[in-house]
Amino acid sequence: MSVSSTSAGPADFLVIGGGIAGAAAGYFLAPHGRVVLLEAEGAPGLHATGRSAALFSEYFGNATVRALTVAARTFYEAPPDGFTAVPLLTPRGVLALETPGSAPQFEAARAAGATAPRPVLEVDRERALELCPVLRPGAFGRALYKPGACDIDVDAAHQGFLRGLRAHGGSVVTGARVHALRRRAGAWRASTAHGEHTGTIVVNAAGAWADDVARLAGVRPAGLVPRRRTAALARIPVAVAVTGDREGSGGTALRAEDVTGWPMITDVADTFYVKPESGGLLLSPADDTPAPPGDARPVELDVATAVARFERVATLRLRHISHAWAGLRTSAPDDTPVIGPCPRTAGFHWLAGLGGYGIQTAPAAGALLAALVTGTPPPSELAALVKGLTPARDHGADREER
């Protein structure tokens, strides 16, 4: 842990929040001045960042989010020297099923996915079963394959941002929850258990706590809502039917290693997803239950719901849950990130409301935030997004699935 205090002189930038958003903000700001990142927990990324489904998808989110994701891919595919020693993206793909009653969502997903750098492909049942042999042929109608979706090494990306911040002389202070934040004589003063930290600019990247930080600063909250997302890891049964309408009806035995190459399986209505992970299957009911900021915990009924929804479309029976967890996805009312300066309070900038898109958009969101803070031109592919991301914008909606 690197600790900075007022005795070391004021920072140029105080970043509040050490998840992927705050880490990316600090990384891109560090070449422009001294960064002090204040993290409330004992280690950065314990909440939303550390509990992500770890998927990079240019098909996921509304049009603005998808544009941020497209802009982030170049960084993740070819990060700067020294950023990471391992690949950040690994091809995965997503297979989205049209389940009963979801024809309108299917058409919307197909239309939105047609504009992706690697457009969605409608596939027949035979191809869907090649991609995931345990699917029930009669449980879904049409299917979309999203070939550009990738697994992302979240920890490597997060640590790369933090390492780069430190390499430019920045500091990361853990266990430093901000309990007072005020501006005096052109400088912000943040009071924490590690003393007072002073900086010219504040970046509010506090995730589920971002509106609380705004209130401390006397800034109008953005109306952010933290929502619980549940996930569980299921072990693969020793032997099951790969084909047929029910377990034991025929087919060949499935081994744990056989699932490794499956795409993520979801439905176009976004009521569940299942993804190979750690020799088993990570599954979620895609819940979005409003919850207060805090250490989110899984609810047993949500885990059971995830299992039941997957089993409706698959012959596989998941009887052994290794462990379950939950995280908070914090979103603005229009499901679009809030990035940019507070219109009424000098020196206060937002990088919040990233919802379930924080990991996949972090390089683009961090670079755009740094440009807005420093007054430098944003990357050309991001300039057109500024108005839609500003804290002063009107709210709308245009969401798409993974």
Who has greater pLDDT, 159 or 399? 159
Q: Domain spans of the chain?
A: 6-54+154-222+333-389, 94-147+226-331
Does 3.50.50.60 match the CATH number of domain 6-54+154-222+333-389? yes
pLDDT at 286: 96
What's the CATH number for 94-147+226-331? Answer: 3.30.9.10
pLDDT digits (tens, 9 = 90+) for 147-200: 999 999 999 999 999 999 999 999 999 999 999 999 999 999 999 988 999 999
For 319-327, what is the mean pLDDT? Answer: 93
pLDDT at 397: 42
For 281-296, what is the mean pLDDT? Answer: 96
For 260, residues 6+ apart whose C-beta sits below 8 A from its C-beta are 276
For 394, residues 6+ apart whose C-beta sits below 8 A from its C-beta are none
- Which residues are 90's β-sheet partners? 151
CA pair distance 350, 211, nearest whole angstrom = 10
**Nearest alpha carbon to residue 152 among 267, 37, 58:** 58
**Nearest alpha carbon to residue 356 among 100, 96, 36, 20:** 20
Q: What is the pLDDT confidence band of residue 313, given thresholds at 50, 70 and 90?
A: very high
Q: What is the pLDDT confidence band of residue 299, given thresholds at 50, 70 and 90?
A: very high
Instruction: Note the helical H segments in 217-327.
Output: 300-313
Report whether pLDDT(240) > 70. no
- At 205, phi and psi to the nearest 5? -120, 40
pLDDT digits (tens, 9 = 90+) for 104-117: 999 999 999 999 99
Q: What is the pLDDT confidence band of residue 51, given thresholds at 50, 70 and 90?
A: confident
Contact between 316 and 36 (Cβ < 8 Å): no
What percent of the chain is predicted at pLDDT more than 90?
Answer: 83
